[in-house]
Structure 1
């Protein structure tokens, strides 16, 4: 039987491995693999096949509404009239809102990602007998494994 588990980069991995070795699991039956970090920069704009759930138009639409009302109100006094100035206000409001959202996504969130320092996870694979599976699963969960899966190996 093989037991797969994932851990965050922490000292709990070493503690789990040493506990497993103390309980009789041989070192040759424990396999630890660190996942690679993403090297390319994340894309800001979504495409048809991938979306991160972040909208760029939400602030733009709200500001377009506010600026169009203000533009239409002021437009009664100006030469082109309220309809043109309402449309001009909507376009200006949308562009300002889109610019604000673009700035927060590109500059501020990139800075936050760098400060947070995302580290990849680590996969731990343990080969064991079916009778030891419950004990190993409990040890891994007690040392803060993110997830554990058991797979029966056909011989």
Structure 2
């Protein structure tokens, strides 16, 4: 019988593997593999240029609208609004993403254990005890 557990790479995983090896399952019956997961943020990231252009467009519209009542006219105030809006948007993007980089990406680890039916329940409980994300079985 195969028991398959999915873990985040952590000290709990190391403790679970040590307990498996010490108590019941020989090392040859345990397979540990790291998953190469593509992060969703890597697939599509919002760039500072895109955010800056969105804010710049809004600034240009507001500047041009207010420019009808001001001295320099709508074109100049629209350009001023574009520049100010762009830098405000890009600045906000950088401030938000500086905080997000503090959390590291933890790889997922798959543990496959070959065991008997008598050991299955104990292995499954051990995986849940040490923080498995999900557990599967195959007979």
Both proteins in one fold, TM over 0.5: yes
The TM-score with structure 2 as length reference comes to 0.66
Moved segments of 4+, more than 4 Å: 35-38, 54-60
Residues 64, 144 of structure 1: alpha-carbon distance in 2 compared, 3 angstrom cutoff: same
More helix by share: 2
Indicate whether 1:134 and 2:121 are aligned: yes
CA distance in 1, matches of 2:24, 2:98: 49
Q: Deviations over 1:84-126 (max 9, x none)?
A: 3464345334422443255457x736xx53x544342322110
Residue in structure 2 matched with residue 4 of structure 1 by the alignment: 4
Structure 1: any 5+ residue segments left out of the alignment?
44-49
Residue in structure 2 matched with residue 72 of structure 1 by the alignment: 65
Paired residue secondary structure (1:4) = strand
Structure 2: any 5+ residue segments left out of the alignment?
none
Aligned length: 136
**Aligned CA-pair RMSD:** 3.6
Indicate whether 1:118 and 2:105 are aligned: yes
Residue in structure 1 matched with residue 13 of structure 2 by the alignment: 13
Residues 98, 69 of structure 1: alpha-carbon distance in 2 compared, 3 angstrom cutoff: closer
The TM-score with structure 1 as length reference comes to 0.61
